[in-house]
Amino acid sequence: MRIISLNLNGIRSAERKGLSDWLAQGSPWDVLCLQELRADLADIPATLASLDGKHAAFLPAQKKGYSGVGLIAAAPFTPRVGFGDPEFDAEGRYLQADFDGLTVVSVYVPSGSSGDDRQQAKYRFLDRFLPHLHALIATSAKEGRELIVCGDVNIAHKEIDLKNWKSNQKNSGFLPEERAWLDRMFAETGLVDVFRALDPRPEQYTWWSNRGQAWAKNVGWRLDYQFATPGIAATARTTSIYKEQRFSDHAPLIVDYDFSLPSPACGRGCPEGAGEWAVRHQKSILSREAAKARSGKAPDLPPFQRGCPPSAGGGLQRYGRQIAAPTSLSVPFARRGGNLPPVAARKTPSPPTPLPQEERGAKP
């Protein structure tokens, strides 16, 4: 099973740079986790929404042209929208796919580099996401599923994970409080940083600033991860960061696991013609959402899944406000004895340390 995670920095921009051609013509893959769609559902390129034989779900942010996550897979899955937090579910930051024996999450942690307000939002996200991870791991284990969490975490964990670590210790993405959160997450959940388990080499980055010569000089950060429960992490065989073609300021993070997604394509078998049924209905949904947007009416909550008709036991499913019930999040992480200080006391990247030209420029 090959899983790819990629921050798109805009799905339309990535498609103009050849993303769907690469996905169709490159090595076979099984799950694609996407972050930073920056597009409404109606604006997602059909070439990506309707990849042959694939099943897709997308969760755009309510704010136009902002954030958003997606997941495309070779097998049908049950999508779960958000993690029960109104603030960040509205920003389109979490999409969960439940397969037979496996749960995969596409997550986009907020960037705090644009200012203090967003750094505090990042801390709030981390406060609320850790207890959700605990609950998700427990539920997955009870239901007999392994777990892989993919995404742009917007934190470089160790000094090895960014080029200029000394000059970035006061900047968002490498603050002590952020790194401490990753330390605690790994210690408490037992999740494995799969890339680092397979590849201990330095200068392995997944994000480069668009300014200066960051890409040419490999002045980067490792911000994208695949975290996995120990059972499936032990089956990981190879990993790579694809840099032969650029679709974004991030590079695709690829991991191959000795694991097979369920087959046939619809779990219990697709009737003949089900694929065409799904494509027609998917286009209908896209058209309907676009019409609502033009008329000023509020669109439905946008995630959808492409696959077989409901009568086939899977398939195209439209979800209203079926957002996972929130876990108990009333007590912030730091105030439960964690390593982070209360939100008001946490450090922010102000004033930032002066950086070389190739290191400047906040992530969107």
How do residues 88-141 score in pLDDT, each as one tens digit?
A: 999 999 999 999 999 999 999 999 999 999 999 999 999 999 999 999 999 999
Residue 361 predicted with pLDDT over 60: no
Band of the pLDDT at 363, cuts 50, 70, 90?
low
The pTM of this model reads: 0.78
pLDDT of residue 346: 53
| Whether the Cβ atoms of residue 34 and residue 94 lie closer than 8 Å to each other | no
Residue 291 predicted with pLDDT over 50: no
Residue 342 predicted with pLDDT over 90: no
pLDDT of residue 262: 76
List pLDDT tens digits, range 221-272. Answer: 999 999 999 999 999 999 999 999 999 999 999 999 999 987 533 433 333 3
Tell me the C-alpha distance between 124 and 220, whole Å: 26
Residue 323 predicted with pLDDT over 70: no
Least confident of 88-92, 148-152, 219-223, 358-362: 358-362
DSSP letter at 323? B
Q: Is residue 91 part of a domain?
A: yes
Q: Is 302 left (phi over 0), alpha (psi -120 to 50) or beta?
A: alpha
List pLDDT tens digits, range 184-215. Answer: 999 999 999 999 999 999 999 999 999 999 99
Tell me the C-alpha distance between 186 and 226, whole Å: 12
Provide mean pLDDT across the span 151-173. Answer: 97
Residue 18 predicted with pLDDT over 80: yes
How many domains does the chain divide into? Answer: 1
Kindly state the percentage of the chain with pLDDT values over 70. 72
Residue 318 predicted with pLDDT over 70: no
Tell me the C-alpha distance between 187 and 204, whole Å: 23
Q: Is residue 364 part of a domain?
A: no
Query: For position 71, which CATH number holds?
Result: 3.60.10.10
Cα–Cα nearest to 214, from 255, 164, 277, 160: 164
Q: Is residue 247 part of a domain?
A: yes
Active site annotation includes 152: yes
Provide mean pLDDT across the span 69-74. Answer: 98
Cα–Cα nearest to 30, from 11, 58, 51: 51
Q: What are the structure tokens assigned to 352, written together?
A: 């930032």
Q: Is residue 43 part of a domain?
A: yes
Tell me the C-alpha distance between 96 and 109, whole Å: 14
Average model confidence (pLDDT) across the chain: 81
Selected residue with higher pLDDT from 364 and 153: 153
Helices (H), the chain: 11-16, 19-25, 46-49, 86-89, 116-142, 176-189, 194-198, 214-217, 230-233, 274-295
Q: Is residue 253 part of a domain?
A: yes
Omega within 30 of 0 (cis) for the link into 230: no
Given the residues 30, 40, 152, 249, select the one marked as catalytic. Answer: 152
Within 111-249, strands assigned E span 146-152, 192-193, 207-208, 220-221, 224-228, 236-241
Selected residue with higher pLDDT from 295 and 315: 295
The 10 Å Cβ neighbour count of residue 164 is 17
Cα–Cα nearest to 57, from 22, 104, 125: 104
Least confident of 62-66, 333-337, 338-342, 353-357: 333-337
Provide mean pLDDT across the span 56-82. Answer: 96
Q: Which residue type sits at 213? A: Q
Longest distance between any two alpha carbons in the chain, whole Å: 62
How many residues are present in the chain? 364
| Whether the Cβ atoms of residue 23 and residue 8 lie closer than 8 Å to each other | no
Kindly state the percentage of the chain with pLDDT values over 90. 70
Pick from 122-136, 274-288, 314-328, 341-355 the range whose average pLDDT is largest: 122-136
Q: Is residue 8 part of a domain?
A: yes
Q: What are the structure tokens assigned to 134, written together?
A: 């605990």
Q: What are the structure tokens assigned to 102, written together?
A: 């496996």
| Interstrand relation of 207-208 and 220-221 (parallel, antiparallel or unpaired) | antiparallel
Q: Which domain holds residue 14?
A: 2-265+323-359
Q: Is residue 202 part of a domain?
A: yes
User: Does an H or E element contain 71, and which?
Assistant: strand 69-73
Cα–Cα nearest to 148, from 282, 65, 256, 53: 256
Q: Is residue 104 part of a domain?
A: yes
Provide mean pLDDT across the span 158-165. Answer: 98
First to last CA, the chain: 31
